[in-house]
């Protein structure tokens, strides 16, 4: 007998006979506490969350997902959905809930003739990059290869190639979705168009996506990319120069800034290890010679400690930051959008960087725009389409005794930056304690999202997420 939380706030008992019947109907299976499959499914990238679901349903296809959705809906049970398990808020797992595990659905099929890819929800970004780059193709995704494609896409998705090719959702052609009533539907511009609109930024609120179809673009195998490292003392003037260069760059060039203690990278002199630095990370999504010209202004700034801009395999560049984002650490993020980087905002950022609570903590400023900014704000659920800067206060540490200190530091910087921000938010960067910020995340699209949620999930079955309440 297993006690599971229900949609009405109570608890229901699921007996072994019911689980055995469900298990026998699945290609995957049902797994209970104490099994390796259960432990693997409940373990996520962010070790802040130590949660124990009632049991795990591991799906191997859309039919398994359909059976799982029907099972939990008919019993009015609470269910979380895990794909890559990378989401900062830890919504993949909930205590005393059913955990639907999609992590073994990892296929990536590339059609090089039509330049499309069909991707299953358990695939990681590294899986997608390796398969698409085998054909000299790419879809714009994030910057950490162990991120799951499903969560990234459903929240929007941006990275090194977004300025050139748009967001991940801008390259989504269709998706197969299991809705709350157990129906398997194809969502596209011509089939269930409102659902298609909603899943492009609205998260997992509307159903369980069992495959994504993406448009691919010619890119690679090499791109001009790398890091330029400066002393933090030079950051006030360099960040102003960075902002100007970012705003004037061609679509092919993406430059982000990172402020942190220097890790022991082999190209950095040892005396700089552990000292605060300003890092420019750059990538050019086009011919190498054109990239050399486009990056010349950035590389001419100041007197860097190191400049390791050079051609790299795109698939390797996509994984370059993985060593700083390994699973198992404690993570807490806070994020703002800025229309511009004012001198006052820069001063506040540098004050915070001078008192980082842990050597693994960092603040990065991503600049987006280009192709992404040429999409109408109401064309997708993700609404913030202007060229702008995205701040991620990435607080990361190992010792649970530092939880209060590290979280307080992140919240303090977030509050300090609020007067300089434009009020919008990227939902994939929002921690679990920002339920009151949903209006900021979706802006004028909030009402339409709530209405679509009411159509496809009126009882809010899919609620273990950054939840949109059904109208």
Q: What whole-number distance in Å separates Cα of residue 191 and Cα of residue 289?
A: 43
- Residue range 185-209: mean pLDDT, rounded: 98
β-bridge pairing 79-82 and 98-101: parallel
Instruction: Name the helix (H) or strand (E) containing 347.
Output: helix 343-353
Q: What whole-number distance in Å separates Cα of residue 360 and Cα of residue 344?
A: 25
Of 449, 469, 431, 436, the residue nearest 201 (C-alpha): 449
Q: What whole-number distance in Å separates Cα of residue 139 and Cα of residue 436?
A: 32
Q: Tell me the DSSP string of 46-86.
A: -TT-----SEEEE-SSHHHHHHHHHHHHHTTB-EEEESS--
The 10s digit of each residue's pLDDT in 210-269 is: 999 999 999 999 999 999 999 999 999 999 999 999 989 999 999 999 999 999 999 999
On the question of pLDDT at 1 being above 80, the answer is no
106: left (phi over 0), alpha (psi -120 to 50) or beta: alpha
**Mean pLDDT, the chain, integer:** 96
**pLDDT at 74 (0 to 100):** 97
**pLDDT at 101 (0 to 100):** 98
- Residue range 266-275: mean pLDDT, rounded: 96
The 10s digit of each residue's pLDDT in 133-185 is: 999 999 999 999 999 999 999 999 999 999 999 999 999 999 999 999 999 99
The 10s digit of each residue's pLDDT in 42-98 is: 999 999 999 999 999 999 999 999 999 999 999 999 999 999 999 999 999 999 999
Name the percent of the chain lying above pLDDT 70.
Answer: 100
The answer to whether the beta carbons of residues 146 and 186 sit under 8 Å apart is no
The 10s digit of each residue's pLDDT in 410-449 is: 999 999 999 999 999 999 999 998 877 888 889 999 999 9
The 10s digit of each residue's pLDDT in 309-345 is: 999 999 999 999 999 999 999 999 999 999 999 999 9
- Residue range 371-392: mean pLDDT, rounded: 95
Fold for 2-101, please state it.
3.30.43
**pLDDT at 448 (0 to 100):** 97
- Residue range 456-465: mean pLDDT, rounded: 98
Q: How many CA atoms within 13 Å lie on the side-chain side of 232?
A: 23
Residue ranges of domains in the chain? 2-101, 108-218+444-456, 222-432
The answer to whether the beta carbons of residues 196 and 262 sit under 8 Å apart is no
Q: Which two tokens stand for residue 56?
A: 């795990």
Instruction: Name the helix (H) or strand (E) containing 218.
Output: strand 217-218
**pLDDT at 388 (0 to 100):** 95
**pLDDT at 419 (0 to 100):** 96
Structure confidence at residue 377 as a pLDDT band (50, 70, 90): very high
The answer to whether the beta carbons of residues 330 and 401 sit under 8 Å apart is no
CATH 1.10.10.1100 fits 222-432, yes or no: no
Query: Spelled out in words, what is the top-level CATH class assigned to the domain 108-218+444-456?
Result: alpha beta
Q: What whole-number distance in Å separates Cα of residue 70 and Cα of residue 340?
A: 48
């Amino acid at each position: 007998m297993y006690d599971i939380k229900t949609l009405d706030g109570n608890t229901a008992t699921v007996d072994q006979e019911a689980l055995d019947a469900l298990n026998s109907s699945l290609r995957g299976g049902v797994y209970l506490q104490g099994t390796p499959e259960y432990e693997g499914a409940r373990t996520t990238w962010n070790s802040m969350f130590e949660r124990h679901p009632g049991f795990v349903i591991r799906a191997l296809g859309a039919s398994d997902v359909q059976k799982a959705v029907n099972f939990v809906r008919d019993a009015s049970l609470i269910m979380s959905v895990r794909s890559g398990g990378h989401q900062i808020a830890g919504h993949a797992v909930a205590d005393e809930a059913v955990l639907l595990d999609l992590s073994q659905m990892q296929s990536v099929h590339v059609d090089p003739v039509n330049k499309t890819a069909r991707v299953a929800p358990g695939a990681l970004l590294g899986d997608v990059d390796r398969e698409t780059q085998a054909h000299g193709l790419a879809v714009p995704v994030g910057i950490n290869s162990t991120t799951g494609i499903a969560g990234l896409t459903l929240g929007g998705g941006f990275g090194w190639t977004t300025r050139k090719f748009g967001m991940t959702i801008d390259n989504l052609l269709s998706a197969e979705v299991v809705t709350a009533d157990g129906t398997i539907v194809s969502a596209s511009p011509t089939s269930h168009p409102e659902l298609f609109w909603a899943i492009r930024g609205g998260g997992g609120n509307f159903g369980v996506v069992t495959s994504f179809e993406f448009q691919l673009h010619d890119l690679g195998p090499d791109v001009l990319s790398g890091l330029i490292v400066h002393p933090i003392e030079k950051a006030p003037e360099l960040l102003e120069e960075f902002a100007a260069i970012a705003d004037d760059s061609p679509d092919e060039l993406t430059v982000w800034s990172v402020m942190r203690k220097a890790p022991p990278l082999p190209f950095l002199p040892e005396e700089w290890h552990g000292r605060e630095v300003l890092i420019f990370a750059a990538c050019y999504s086009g011919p190498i010679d054109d990239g050399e010209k486009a990056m010349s202004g950035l590389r001419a700034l100041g007197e860097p400690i190191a400049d390791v801009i050079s051609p790299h395999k795109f698939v390797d560049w996509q994984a370059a930051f993985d060593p700083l984002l390994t699973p198992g650490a404690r993570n807490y993020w806070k994020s703002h959008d800025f229309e511009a980087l004012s001198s006052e905002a820069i001063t506040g950022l540098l004050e915070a960087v001078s008192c980082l609570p842990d050597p693994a903590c960092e603040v990065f400023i991503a600049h987006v725009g280009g192709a992404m900014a040429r999409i109408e704000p109401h064309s997708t659920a993700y609404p913030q389409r202007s060229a702008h800067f995205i701040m991620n206060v990435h607080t990361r540490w190992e010792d649970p005794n530092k939880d209060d200190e590290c979280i307080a530091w992140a919240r303090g910087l977030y509050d300090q930056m609020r007067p300089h921000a434009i009020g919008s938010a990227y939902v994939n960067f929002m921690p679990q304690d920002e339920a009151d910020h949903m209006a900021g995340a979706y802006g004028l699209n909030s009402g339409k999202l709530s209405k679509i949620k009411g159509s496809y999930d009126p009882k809010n079955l899919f609620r273990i997420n950054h939840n949109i309440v059904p109208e």
